Structure 1
Amino acid sequence: MRFVEYVNFPITKCLVSGKEQCLEKLERKLQSYFGNQLSIYRSEPFFLEIMPANVNKAQALEKLLKYLKYNRKMLIACGDGLNDISMIEYAGIGVAMGNAQDIVKEKADFITKSNAEDGVANAIDIFWVDNKKIMSGEHENN
């Protein structure tokens, strides 16, 4: 039995692993062929993710915020990979990890410490804890 015959259910995601240069070529080819019909991006230099159109982290966060009745201005999103760019751009505050790829850092509002240095905790301290202190009057502006 061939793989294509075995898959008799909806496919939600296809992950291709390979050499960076090969995946760059494949990504360009798929983008030119499928255009906006699919979401195609590299989550790591060696991973290429292929999903239905408009399936990305920003779309997921938008649905979650709508359900919770929160505004995206209150959202802080941290990421380090190419698949995080959509949510970093969508969030009120987009945070790139210190170990993020350069293009991710360029899209972010703030760059925190790396994953290994507890960068998410650092971002929470800066943007959430300090803001709560500011709102409650516990924190003095310097």
Structure 2
Amino acid sequence: MIQLTTFPIDSDALVRQAQVPASGAVLLFLGVTRQHTSGRETAELRYDAYHEMAEKELAALEEKARQKWHLNECLIVHRLGKVPLGEASVAIVVASPHRHAAFAAGEWLIDTLKMSVPIWKEEHWADGSSDWIHPEHDVKHSQATSTNK
């Protein structure tokens, strides 16, 4: 299941939907608006999309994940519009018989989504300015952060 929404994401409902008796692993990933990015204070994020193409790409990602891993469930929800601090902009829930497939599919889905789905992020800073953020910047930032831990 894929969905674009302008409403807050109900991650509890998504996890309940993914919990089936055949699954030994249910993985939830939430991309949440953080307060600081690259030393700047964030006020909020705004997302926009080319709806028809984004839905087509999300559906293709779901299909490919189901082909690559044995998944009992694959749910991808992306929020559009204003996303305040602490709220989720994206949720990915995968359920599989074993944890390896769930972890691998979840990581692949978020990384691929950020690079291939036509959804754009505008960062609104606490100082009143704003910038459109290219997905490549997010990937490089997350890789730099993970290697610095």
Q: Report which of the two has the higher share of helix.
A: 1
Compute the TM-score of the two structures, normalised by the length of structure 1: 0.25
Higher relative contact order (CA 8 A, sep 6+): 2
Q: Which structure has the larger Rg?
A: 1
Q: What TM-score does the superposition give when structure 2 sets the normalisation length? A: 0.24
Instruction: Give 1 or 2: higher strand fraction.
Output: 2
